[in-house]
């Protein structure tokens, strides 16, 4: 697998990050990565269709919210927390502290 394109920190835009976080499935992925630190796509899909999950992972990656590293046949995902916290102090914390309804 080729490596995936990630925006540099300078390319990360608030609007795209907010959009990436504005979906319940993507928010669930971000919450799980917040709890677990790192997870494969398989561990994050919760039985949802692979095509739909690919879309959600791409939106999160292209917005700069998550990092996706290919490793053999699997892909390791993690939050780009350090960069997000530096660019948008308090944003991730405010989003993650909201309990699921």
Residues that bind a second copy (CB under 8 A): 13-16, 18-19, 21-24, 27, 87-91, 93-95, 97-98, 101
For residue 8, give the DSSP letter. -
**At closest approach, how far in Å is the CB of 95 from a second copy?**
7
Residue 10 has phi, psi (to 5 degrees) of: -65, -20
Task: Indicate the residue among 21 and 66 with the shorter CB distance to a second copy.
Answer: 21
Pairing of strands 66-71, 74-79: antiparallel
Task: Indicate the residue among 52 and 74 with the shorter CB distance to a second copy.
Answer: 52
């Amino acid at each position: 697998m080729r490596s995936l394109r990630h925006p540099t920190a300078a390319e990360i835009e608030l609007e795209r990050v907010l959009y990436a976080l504005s979906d319940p499935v993507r928010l669930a992925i971000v919450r799980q990565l917040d709890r677990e630190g790192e997870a494969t796509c398989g561990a994050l899909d919760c039985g949802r269709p692979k095509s739909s999950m690919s879309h959600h992972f791409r939106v999160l990656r292209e917005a700069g919210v998550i990092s996706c590293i290919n490793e053999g046949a699997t892909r390791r995902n993690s939050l780009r927390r350090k960069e997000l916290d530096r660019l948008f102090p308090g944003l991730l914390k405010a989003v993650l502290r909201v309990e699921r309804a």
